[in-house]
Amino acid sequence: MAITQKHQIKALIELLGKENGEQAVFLRTELARIMKEQPQTLHDVIEQDFHSSVPAALVHNMEEVCWENLAQEIKLFSGKINPSLEEALSIVTRFVNPAVKPEEVTQDMDTYAHALRPLAAQATGTEDLLKIMSAFFLQSQRLTVVPTARDIKEISFGRFLQKKCGSSLCLACLYVLCAERFGLEAGIVDLAGRLLVSMRFNDTEETLFADPIENGRIQTAADCRRYIDSRNLEWNESFLTPLSSRTLLRRFLGNMIFILNKLADERRLSYLRRYMDILKLHF
């Protein structure tokens, strides 16, 4: 592996916005290699030499290098028999912020789960556990759900963990990932457009559902049926079937596409549509 020195990286960054044609292609290829092989060195150069004013050309090229890489990651993700939700959330996070490393999402999740574990250990059943988790997320950690996401940043799971504000889908995923770390059965169901967290403490208990939008309000399967009846819809058992990680990734990407369509942001939309096409091949 060729090691590029800091002064060489600085010179490459300064040239990115000036060159065109074959030279520009070469510079971008070099940037892609450095992002993959020397991410910390690149980070250090940006912090030390460009912290107050990061060149727009660098940001533009780093985003597109990352987005190209994500297309390959989504192909690998889609080809797995049972890809993890955490992997999907890492992809979503890095589309919004290419500077985030995949392990950072895992580390932030581990921090939340570590703080919640002693409280969760006191739970006596599913209802008790859901109440403990909701109180921890919404009261202790002061996580906030936005009624309607207006910026794709509010759909980024990694940013949600950091800023403690984001979409209801982000909060639902947090319930599930913490439950998985505790060895529990959990998922996200789509009740005719209304996303609920499904959870079961042990095999002897019924599955209960928490509504992330309504402060974690707990519902039974019967409550869910009554809700569908109130909408004058026909009941289908699939309403209570947990969504796959592929479906959830599609939901995140679809939400971002909805927002960016309003902004007519064709640059980012072109990548998101490409990702959706990749997922459709394995859906």
For residues 34-60, give the mean pLDDT.
82
Half-sphere exposure of 182 (CA within 13 A, CB side): 29
Res. 133 pLDDT band, cuts 50 70 90: very high
| Residue 1 scores a pLDDT above 70 | no
pLDDT, one tens digit per residue, over 81-96 is 889 999 999 999 999 9
In this prediction, residue 283 carries a pLDDT of: 58
pLDDT, one tens digit per residue, over 97-129 is 887 888 889 999 999 999 999 999 999 999 999
Domains assigned to the chain: 86-246 (3.10.620)
In this prediction, residue 39 carries a pLDDT of: 80
Cα–Cα separations (whole angstroms), residue 4 to 16, 24, 30, 45, 58: 16, 18, 9, 12, 17
Which of 49-63, 144-158, 210-224 is the least confident region? 49-63
In this prediction, residue 112 carries a pLDDT of: 95
Whole-structure pTM value: 0.88
The tokens for 204 are: 């002897």
| Residue 224 scores a pLDDT above 60 | yes
In this prediction, residue 265 carries a pLDDT of: 94
The residue with greater pLDDT, 282 or 193, is 193
pLDDT, one tens digit per residue, over 161-208 is 999 999 999 999 999 999 999 999 899 999 999 999 999 988 788 999
The residue with greater pLDDT, 219 or 20, is 219
In terms of DSSP bridges, do strands 165-166 and 144-145 run parallel, antiparallel, or are they unpaired? Answer: parallel
For residues 226-252, give the mean pLDDT.
95
